[in-house]
Structure formats: structure tokens, C-alpha cells
Amino acid sequence: SPPSGTTGALRLFDRRLKRKQKNWAALQAGRAACEYLREEVGPGGRRRRGEASLTRPHPRFPPRTFPLALDVGSGRGYIAQHLTKETVEKLIQVDIAENALKNAVECEIPTVSVVADEESLPFKENTFDLVVSSLSLHWVNDLPKAFKEIHHVLKPDGVFIGAMFGGDTLYELRCSLQLAELEREGGFSPHVSPFTAVSDLGHLLSRAGFNTLTVDTDEIQVNYPGLFEVMEDLQGNNCAWNRKPLLHRETMLAAAAIYKEMYGNSDGSIPATFQIFYMIGWKFHESQARPAQRGSATVSLADLAKIDGLISRGKK
């Protein structure tokens, strides 16, 4: 059984196994071909709310330069390669896998690599102006603690920008495998790591101390020739303690047929859906805007019903 965490959190993932998986993946010859999701989610891809505030101005946040930034779970530097000196002056990259850091892609800003677990950041309070994280935090056992540590290392008025997989990720694959196992083996086991629900994300960030929160969701759909190609791209990803060590060939063949029957495209391919949660949270500072005190309003909400009449009277 998995060990319990020091904070009482359930240990869903084997972090030592995750380190081995990431080290193995970083050394594969064709690793770049499997990084399309990280490229799509990162600043060079969709440029959603979090990434837009890094690489170009966002309507809510004025452009600014961050002297020191931290990339939590940086991998091979999927975010760093899209940053400029006008955005970030220096970047610290943290990852659990040393091979990923050694094989990081080149970027124009100065970087420092630190091998450390995302669950225990080895930095002092109020160190960074910016913390980013892309598709890494869904493998953290104690997500509330991880958010608190990120908040701890941020300076006042610092911002956290992150992206992580959501609960609807790979629902086609999960459903197909479960139905196939029920049919062929009389029961099923989880083959995809569990994910966080969007309804919990804002609450967790707020509990960690972040304010002016923005949480957004998006879906990326990737088409594959068949189930076996999906599984090939996902190999070495599931590090849950309750994972099943292998799948029987008959079950895999049945799952492939179910997948194509239930979700297949007209051209014969099958879709794989990845749900992405984007989040922005700020650490409090006196200069930040704050809500007015309760009871300080000068206009009643009941007057909103009269607004059309007031506008018409003003025009006359």
C-alpha cells in the first residue's frame, strides 16, 4: 500500500517511479514527437490567459518584467524557450528528473537548473517575482501543500501562472478500457492517473493564499490511427499506486474495437481528449486593488431595473 503523507494527504502517486519515467522519457530518441501537448499548452501554442500575460500584454494585467522567475516541473524547458529578456530576466528551472534538465532546449534568457521534487520546493520565502508550471502538478500527491509552497516562495504582488490536466482528460480511453475489462475479465482497474476537478481548483488556490484568481478550462483533441498509438504515446506516464501492471492482449483488442465503435471519426481515426485547466493567482500586496467594504455602495441593486428609463431620460 502507498505510504501516507506527513500532512495526512493520501499518497496517490509513486513519486520515485515518476522520476524514473521522466528520466527514461528524456533520453528517448523521438521524445520531441511526443511533446505536442506541452507545446500546445505552453506560450508558443494557444496563448491562453496564463501564457498571454507572460509573452504579451493581457487586458487585465499591464505588461511587466519579472527579474526572477521559477518554472516548477520544467521538464526540458517547454516554457523557457518562448520567454524573452523583456519578460523574464532570469529563470530557475526545477524538475524531479535530472535527465530532463540536462537535455533542456536552448533559450535566450539565463537559466539555472535545480533537481528537486515539486512537492518540496527548496527556496526561501519571498524569493520569486513569478512562478509558472505547465502540465506537471497533476502528478503531485499533496496539491494543497504544493500551492502553499508556491505561494510561500512568491514575493508580494508576485503571480503564479499554471496549467494542469483536468478530470475529463482521456475519458474515451478510460471508458473503452473499463468496458473491455468488464467484458473479458469480469472487472476493471484504473489505467489512467486520477485528475483534479475544476470545481476544487479555485478553492485550493484561495486556501493557499492567492487572490485575484482566474481559472479557465480548455479541451485539446488529438486524432490517432487507433488505440495502440494512443497507448504508445502514453507509455511511462501512469505512476498511480493502484495501477495495473499489464493489460491482456485480448482486452486490448476488445478496447480498440470499443473505442472505434463509440468514439471513432468518419475517416477511421479516433479522438483523444485532453482537458486543460489554466490558472492565475496573485500574492497579496498593499498596492493591489481590493473590493470595497461591505455596505459602502451608494446605489442599490434594485435600481438596475430602472436603468433603461434613466438612460432614455438622459438622452432627452
Domains of the chain: 15-169+196-223+274-285 (3.40.50.150)
Dist CA 51 CA 57 (whole Å): 10
What's the CA dihedral at 180, 184, 190, 192 to 10 degrees? -40
Sign of CA dihedral 106, 108, 113, 119: negative
For range 249-277, the mean pLDDT: 92
- The top-scoring range by mean pLDDT among 171-180, 182-191, 230-239 is 171-180
Report residue 302's pLDDT band, with 50, 70 and 90 as the boundaries: low
pTM, to two decimals: 0.79
Contact 224, 270 (CB under 8 A): yes
**At residue 44, does pLDDT exceed 60?**
no
**At residue 39, does pLDDT exceed 80?**
no
Q: What pLDDT, on a 0 to 100 scale, did the predictor assign at position 209?
A: 93
Distances from the Cα of 71 to the Cα of 120, 161, 186, 229, angstroms: 14, 10, 44, 30
142-153 per-position pLDDT tens digit? 888 999 999 999
Report residue 50's pLDDT band, with 50, 70 and 90 as the boundaries: very low
Average pLDDT, the chain: 80
Closest by Cα among 14, 27, 16, 25 to 235: 25
In the numeric block, the cell 473590493 is attached to 291
Work out the number of other CB atoms within 10 angstroms of the CB of residue 296: 7
Q: What pLDDT, on a 0 to 100 scale, did the predictor assign at position 176?
A: 92
Least confident of 170-174, 278-282, 297-301: 297-301
Instruction: Say which residue, 5 or 237, is predicted with more confidence.
Output: 237
Least confident of 125-129, 159-163, 198-202: 198-202
In the numeric block, the cell 526545477 is attached to 94
